[in-house]
Structure 1
Amino acid sequence: MPAKRPPTETSAAFRLIRPAPIETVVVTDELSGRLGRNRSPGRRQIGADTDHDAVLAWLARSADSPNTLANSRREAERLLLWSLVEAGKPLSSLTHEDLLAYQRFLADPQPAERWVMTGRKLPRQHADWRPFAGPLSTSSARQAMVVINSLFSWLVQAGYLAGNPLALARQRRANTTPRVVRFLEEDLWVQVKATIQVMPGVTSRELASQARARWLFSLLFLCGLRISEVVGNTMGGFFNRPDPKGEPHWWLEITGKGGKTRLVPATRELMVELMHYRRSLGLAALPIEHEATPLLLPVWWHAPSDPRGSTIEVPEALTRAAVHQIVKSMFEQAAHSLESQHPDLAPRAERLRAASAHWLRHTAGSRMADQEVDLRHVRDTFGHASISTTNIYLHAEDTRRHHAIEAAHRLGWD
């Protein structure tokens, strides 16, 4: 009787049926990576002996940067799950050809019922959770592969992998986008503001929702904050520092990307909105130094009318996903309102639906640049490392250049 062959890496018996959060995945030794074909035979600089543990070691480097950690975990998790579910092999056995197939998969994650969530975003613990919200755009897929390349390069340096299969990819020269295009033009921004202003305000919860939406969009637009900065900072960051003439100037100290701290001018308009929002919560109009109140609070919370003691207990900050959902909901309502005005406005409504919180940051930067605010001021307010990053907001300059060329540079066919 012939000897029974051991199962191969791609044996269906060892494949996962569907993706699940990586912290819950349990696999056999064949898929754990202990026997991965790309494992380095040399001495390792990390203690990990499985692909799962090696990925966690890589992620641990970003523990002090929540935004980077979340983005890195998302891309590493997607690749690890695809490797197990679709390729039927451990991450440490993936080849260059496998990664080309994965890059194509990002543009159309199929079968969709296995990989793509339908409807609203679900918590990771939910049985219907999926790694994707839909196909990735070309730029998002490219960024995903950049993150994965970083993962493989680090695992090679750590002595866990023998080589980086992505190192064989054709290296393209990075082309910087001349100008940012993901921003809201004036008509769309006006529509969003109008939608917030006409939100229902009959019940206490409706009033709280309107006050929170108005404050959130004020923060995102007037300060150019990222969602991670909204949830990661508190009202204790506001402080008053008089100018040389003794005029009071309010500032908001923000800890942002990479743990870097910057000062954002808190304009009179922003301070009015802050006081309005705080009063709606039953708080004093202005925060005190080092106050722990999050910049944004759940709609159900209200300060007690008769607090016991001097300290008011406030809930934890909203998650990034929750704030993202609030923003997307407002854009959806604005788009629906726009569509109802005239069928020809449907393309403009779709542009609103495609928008995200980061579009408001770009909108703010574009507006400042168009109003000829010194780009150095825009750079410092937004926390850009270089003025070249801020230059992407110079839409008005492009428009003037286009008009000038249009008027003076003609071919003149008879």
Structure 2
Amino acid sequence: MPVEQHNLVNTDLHIAAQNDIQAVAAWLAEYQDSPQTLKSYRREAERLLLWLSRENKQLNHVDREILRQFENFLMDPQPSEYWVGPTKPRHHPNWRPFRGGLSPASRRQSLVILQGLFDWLVEAGWVSRNPFKLMRDKSRRLNNQIQRIERYFERELWEWLWQWINQPPHEQSSRALYEHARRRFIFAFAYLLAPRISEMANTQMLDFQQSEGRWWWVVVGKGSKLARIPVPDDMLTCLRQWRGALGLPGLPEHQEQSPVIRALDKQRRISDNQLYRLIKGAFTDAAEALEAQNGKPAYISALRQATPHWLRHTSITHQAQSGVSLRYLAESARHARLDTTTRYLHSEEAEWHREQQRHRLGGTAPKARIEPL
């Protein structure tokens, strides 16, 4: 599915670009230090460029009506045989940019990203306007800060999932036992420290460090920012158990330079994509197990649609529900803005719900004497 390149002459350019592809590439270059952000931004920009090419349009043609058409397209990419297909490597002939139509949350996220793209292109002199500014309901759809985090596992579901993960494997071969131990550690790591998928995949043993008797996880996160996160005792226990499965003693030594999460050879690190697939596979297996137990349909559905990032959302949400203060929660989550962290706070909703229970149909409030009319 090639993207046609369209030349555009602009004397007020502030970037070295000859066509839309090069202009978007210049924007993406700003995110080279954030691999996961770059990956998601590239995906949304590529979808837009492919659609514009198919419509024989360029970025500077996009107005409010074209943007409306693109929104509808994201909801239902047609013709489906051209746009939709199973996961394939990017250069595979059967690669397609969509697995299916995007959900409302995914469409909103796509528009948020593309709004930022157009803001940048206006400043770069590549386009003259940002059509997203014309959206009447822009604040509802494009301001992600006002959206509460809903893509997480309720505590009851998480407790079932953790119990399920800890069940011994049916097969007792060395490989099955190793894969079981690895899956258990991955989920413990994800829940207790709230890493992003790339941070977890890239963690080295030396990133777990002890200082004055306390253990910390040192991580280079989004935007190449260095952070130091307290390691809870449960995480230390799981780390010891995982190192035992790797044939390693106790807790990491000083400057022990080796990957934490490893391939089947117990030596090589696994890639972000491999880790992603391991977690998604666990969700699928868990959904089937819960369905066999006649579990709640909503929980089964949550497991089927969950992505690995749900574990980060779950970790932060459950920490908030456990009473971790907003200040420390923001530090652990490594959010640049405090209002990002507040999206995980559901305490006001719970309090509101409790208060609302005072409003009854009758029988709980003092009865006033009703005078005859």
Q: State the match for 1:185 in structure 2.
A: 154
The 1:285/1:147 distance shift into structure 2, 3 A limit, reads same
Give CA deviations for 1:94-116 in whole Å, capped at 9, x if unaligned: 44322221111111112222212
Q: State the match for 2:134 in structure 1.
A: 168
The 1:152/1:186 distance shift into structure 2, 3 A limit, reads closer
**Cα distance between partner residues in 2 of 1:157 and 1:46:** 10
Query: 1:205 aligned to 158, 167, 175, which one?
Result: 175
The 1:91/1:291 distance shift into structure 2, 3 A limit, reads farther
Give CA deviations for 1:163-188 in whole Å, capped at 9, x if unaligned: 33434333632565474322212331
The reply on whether 1:301 has 2:265 as its aligned counterpart is yes
The 1:125/1:295 distance shift into structure 2, 3 A limit, reads farther
The reply on whether 1:159 has 2:125 as its aligned counterpart is yes
Asked if the contact 1:33–1:51 (Cα under 8 Å) also holds between the matched residues in 2, the reply is yes
The reply on whether 1:276 has 2:234 as its aligned counterpart is no
Give CA deviations for 1:321-349 in whole Å, capped at 9, x if unaligned: 2222211111111111111112x633321
Q: TM-score, normalised by structure 1?
A: 0.79
**Cα distance between partner residues in 2 of 1:167 and 1:394:** 30
Query: 1:143 aligned to 101, 109, 126, which one?
Result: 109
The reply on whether 1:315 has 2:279 as its aligned counterpart is no
**Cα distance between partner residues in 1 of 2:137 and 2:297:** 40
**Cα distance between partner residues in 2 of 1:164 and 1:111:** 28
Asked if the contact 1:33–1:91 (Cα under 8 Å) also holds between the matched residues in 2, the reply is no
The reply on whether 1:336 has 2:302 as its aligned counterpart is no
Query: 1:82 aligned to 40, 51, 54, which one?
Result: 51
Code of the aligned partner of 1:88: N
Q: State the match for 2:370 in structure 1.
A: none
**Cα distance between partner residues in 1 of 2:323 and 2:223:** 29
**1:238: Cα distance to partner?**
0.7
Q: State the match for 1:54 in structure 2.
A: 23
Classify the secondary structure of the residue corresponding to 1:294: coil
Structure 1: unaligned runs, 5 residues or longer: 1-18, 20-24, 243-247, 303-313
**Cα distance between partner residues in 2 of 1:58 and 1:180:** 28
The reply on whether 1:108 has 2:108 as its aligned counterpart is no
Give CA deviations for 1:71-115 in whole Å, capped at 9, x if unaligned: 111111111111123x13344444432222111111111222221
Q: State the match for 1:355 in structure 2.
A: 306
**Cα distance between partner residues in 1 of 2:59 and 2:343:** 38
The reply on whether 1:123 has 2:89 as its aligned counterpart is yes
**1:233: Cα distance to partner?**
3.1
Code of the aligned partner of 1:158: A
**1:358: Cα distance to partner?**
2.3
Query: How many residues are paired up?
Result: 360
Asked if the contact 1:237–1:289 (Cα under 8 Å) also holds between the matched residues in 2, the reply is no
Structure 2: unaligned runs, 5 residues or longer: 368-373
Query: 2:12 aligned to 32, 43, 58, which one?
Result: 43
The 1:251/1:40 distance shift into structure 2, 3 A limit, reads same
Code of the aligned partner of 1:180: I
The 1:398/1:155 distance shift into structure 2, 3 A limit, reads closer
**1:267: Cα distance to partner?**
1.6
Classify the secondary structure of the residue corresponding to 1:393: coil
Classify the secondary structure of the residue corresponding to 1:140: helix
Determine what percentage of the aligned residue pairs are the same residue.
37
Q: State the match for 1:97 in structure 2.
A: 65
Query: 1:263 aligned to 221, 225, 228, which one?
Result: 228
Classify the secondary structure of the residue corresponding to 1:250: strand
**1:212: Cα distance to partner?**
1.2
**Pairing 1:56-71 to 2, within 5 Å after superposition:** 56-71=25-40
**Cα distance between partner residues in 1 of 2:5 and 2:335:** 41
Q: State the match for 1:391 in structure 2.
A: 342
Give CA deviations for 1:223-261 in whole Å, capped at 9, x if unaligned: 11121221233221111112xxxxx21110111122222
**Cα distance between partner residues in 1 of 2:318 and 2:114:** 35
Code of the aligned partner of 1:371: S
Q: State the match for 1:196 in structure 2.
A: 165
The 1:273/1:74 distance shift into structure 2, 3 A limit, reads same
Q: Give the RMSD, CA atoms, in angstroms.
A: 2.4
Asked if the contact 1:200–1:210 (Cα under 8 Å) also holds between the matched residues in 2, the reply is no
Q: State the match for 1:224 in structure 2.
A: 194
Asked if the contact 1:233–1:255 (Cα under 8 Å) also holds between the matched residues in 2, the reply is no
**1:146: Cα distance to partner?**
2.0
Classify the secondary structure of the residue corresponding to 1:385: coil
Asked if the contact 1:109–1:134 (Cα under 8 Å) also holds between the matched residues in 2, the reply is yes
Code of the aligned partner of 2:90: R
Q: State the match for 2:322 in structure 1.
A: 371
